[in-house]
Copies of this chain bind each other. A is one copy, B any other.
């Protein structure tokens, strides 16, 4: 059975409380979730910036990793799995105050591997900031 928006909110709340690296995901708004997809948005703030004052590439890749993981889990029939490969192309800078939409989709989930794609866009103008592909191992190790 698939799971929706409250399920993803609970996952994010739970992981943020753990004092691990996912603490960087606080202040996110879950826009939609279900059927292998998940869309969240956030406003670029000081804690997301690199030394040049723009959205940090490491934070962008962390979002590709985490929000695609949320998307996968909404299917309800798969383990969260572990990352195998992650690739991101960085297309445009984002600045403090920009509202960014992170749109993650499950392209395919088989018995052992899941393939996910993520697009980050600016909410106002719709321009693509980054695109990522994330492969997870979801079988038994």
Which A residues have a C-beta under 8 Å from some C-beta of B? 14-15, 18-24, 46-52, 56-59, 61-63, 65-66, 80, 82-93, 107-108, 111-113, 115, 117, 127-128, 131, 133, 135, 137, 139, 141
Chain B residue nearest to A93 (CB atoms) is: B82
Closest-CB distance, A64 to chain B (whole angstroms) = 8
CA distance A133 to B85 in the complex (A): 10
Q: Is the CB of B115 within 8 A of A137?
A: no
Least CB distance, A122 to chain B, in whole angstroms? 12
Q: Which of B22, B52, B115 contacts A50 (CB 8 A)?
A: B22
Quick one: closest B residue to A51, CB to CB?
B15
A49 CA to B47 CA, complexed, in Å: 18
Q: How far is the CB of A92 from chain B (nearest CB, A)?
A: 7
Closest 10 CB pairs of A and B: A58-B62, A21-B56, A85-B85, A20-B49, A61-B61, A87-B87, A57-B83, A15-B51, A91-B108, A83-B90
Instruction: Find out whether the CB atom of B128 lies under 8 angstroms from the CB atom of A108.
Output: yes
Which single member of B21, B57, B131 contacts A133 (CB below 8 Å)? B131
Q: How far is the CA of A108 from the CA of B131 in the complex (A)?
A: 11
A80 and B54 CA atoms in complex are apart in Å by: 13
